Amino acid sequence: MQYTNYDLKDTIVALATPPGVGAIGVIRLSGTNAIAIADMVFKGKALNKQKSHTIHLGKIISEENKIIDEVLISLFVAPKSYTKENVVEVSCHGSSYIIQELIQLFIKKGARMAQPGEFTLRAFLNGQMDLSQAEAVADLIASNSAAAHTIAMQQMRGGFSNEIKNLRQQLLDFASLIELELDFSEEDVEFANREDLQQLVKKIQTLIHALIQSFKLGNVIKKGVNTVIAGRPNAGKSTLLNVLLKEERAIVSEIAGTTRDTIEEVLNIQGIEFRLIDTAGIRDAQDQIEAIGVEKTMEKVQQSAILLYVFDARKLTPEMVKADLEKLQVPNQTILLVPNKMDRNPSLKPEEYVTATLPLSQIVTVSAINNMNIEHLKNTLYQLVVSDKLNLDNPIVSNTRHLEALQNAHESLSEVLKNMGAGVTTDFVAMDIRRALYHLGEIVGEVSTDDLLGNIFSRFCIGK
């Protein structure tokens, strides 16, 4: 298969540390000639005579015979390296001039610049890791919370992919028996025990089901939860946002393309990132500019998993609140109703605001200005997305591509069961099994296409 439009036999080079000035920079070479290329410019020892996993001090000399830098070289001899190829890591002084000179020199001696993700692509193609593990490398690098780090690390270390590989193999064995039956179709033989097959299919479905269920949490951990704060003017939205964020004020991000209409800030509650979107408020659009503001508000409201609706406890009757919510709520969105300014109306009865879609547990009375009940509000937010205690020991799927493959595999397996039960001919059952095998294989990369690999690895940085 032609995976890429560049040659994977080349020896590649790239900066592995972030660009810019640092105490040190690490340049990585990988490929058959990595050690030979380093030897051409390294004065110290002959690297090709050294053992794997050793470090060597020496100088790198330019073609004009000038010392470019004094460096440490780490040596990894194939196949005991990240890519399973010969790998040389050059730790140099972290000046961008030195780094550029060294990379140019390695290119002159026969290496070429690595493509984005090419080191990890090679690691995958050479069998160092499966596809889901390779993807976890990118997640691990991007992880910025303890929970995101834990699931990326778990996936990188094999996580659920080992179990999927194992069950897929068992299914593959059945598939071969069934294909054999098809070869002997004249003779009406049965090599594959139908009861065993059914049991295996059910077992795989149970695993897949649990993995699909885990995605909601995995996605929340990886991507955070969009939470829109809405309410009429003067309800206390800004005040509430301020008390929620308190010390976390530092993490402020303004969504590109918007000005004062919507501002996004991140609130971290026990490792889950809530992206709070403050809106310009809801009012009947009286002129064009307001109409745009309202339209943007509606757009943000629709993209959010949680709608946190704040109102002035003195001002709105249950009927008014319900009418507002009806206008605002979109399907699959969870409402958190927050009567504010309770200091001014302590007798408000939350029960009166309960509806078919809004239980009492999702109504939290506060006084933003007095910091009253804010901790309870945070806990409620957290519980809306993490219903059980956060358990990171079980495999958690956090990748949309994996989710889709799992859903497709589950569907094909349901077809297998249905058709077997209905006595449909073996060739149809075989077709559904093949489809399930295909989707399971997609996750770990036993089945992959150029497009898929291109898509995954092009999102990596150069040097990864």
What are the residues binding ligand GDP (CB under 6 A)?
231, 233-239, 281, 340-341, 343-344, 367-370
Structure tokens of 169? 């193999």
Q: Which amino acid is at 93?
A: H
Q: Give the span between the Cα atoms of 260 and 217, in whole angstroms.
A: 32
Report yes or no: 77 and 122 within 8 Å, Cβ to Cβ. no
Q: What are phi and psi of 436, to 5 degrees?
A: -60, -40
Between 162 and 239, CB nearer to ligand GDP: 239
- CA distance to 232, 256, 309, 360, per residue, from 295 (Å): 15, 16, 17, 30
Structure tokens of 138? 């990118």
Minimal distance, residue 309 CB to ligand GDP, in Å: 11
Between 71 and 230, CB nearer to ligand GDP: 230
Pairing of strands 263-269, 252-253: antiparallel
Q: Give the span between the Cα atoms of 98 and 4, in whole angstroms.
A: 31
Using CA atoms of 414, 415, 416, 419 in order, give the dihedral in degrees to the nearest 10. Answer: 130
Between 262 and 367, CB nearer to ligand GDP: 367
Strand residues in 367-411 grouped as ranges (E): none
Which among 244, 265, 251, 221 is positioned nearest to 376, based on CA atoms? 244
Which among 180, 178, 211 is positioned nearest to 196, based on CA atoms? 178
Long-range contacts of 292-295 (CB under 8 A, 24+ apart): 292/261, 293/261
Minimal distance, residue 243 CB to ligand GDP, in Å: 9
Between 47 and 313, CB nearer to ligand GDP: 313
Measure CA 153 to chain center: 12
Element housing 58 (H / E):
strand 54-61
Structure tokens of 385? 């997305």
Between 358 and 368, CB nearer to ligand GDP: 368
Minimal distance, residue 370 CB to ligand GDP, in Å: 6
Structure tokens of 152? 């990326």
Minimal distance, residue 206 CB to ligand GDP, in Å: 48
Minimal distance, residue 372 CB to ligand GDP, in Å: 7
Between 281 and 463, CB nearer to ligand GDP: 281
Minimal distance, residue 239 CB to ligand GDP, in Å: 3
Between 100 and 371, CB nearer to ligand GDP: 371
Minimal distance, residue 300 CB to ligand GDP, in Å: 15
Minimal distance, residue 270 CB to ligand GDP, in Å: 25
DSSP 276: E
The residue whose two tokens read 């640092």 is 22
Between 222 and 341, CB nearer to ligand GDP: 341
Minimal distance, residue 330 CB to ligand GDP, in Å: 21
Q: Give the span between the Cα atoms of 81 and 195, in whole angstroms.
A: 45
3-state secondary structure of 88: strand
Between 343 and 411, CB nearer to ligand GDP: 343
Pairing of strands 54-61, 67-76: antiparallel
Between 78 and 245, CB nearer to ligand GDP: 245
Minimal distance, residue 310 CB to ligand GDP, in Å: 6
The residue whose two tokens read 């206390």 is 236
Between 366 and 405, CB nearer to ligand GDP: 366
Q: What angle do CA 63, 100, 15 make, to 5 degrees?
A: 120
Minimal distance, residue 367 CB to ligand GDP, in Å: 4
Q: What are phi and psi of 321, to 5 degrees?
A: -65, -45
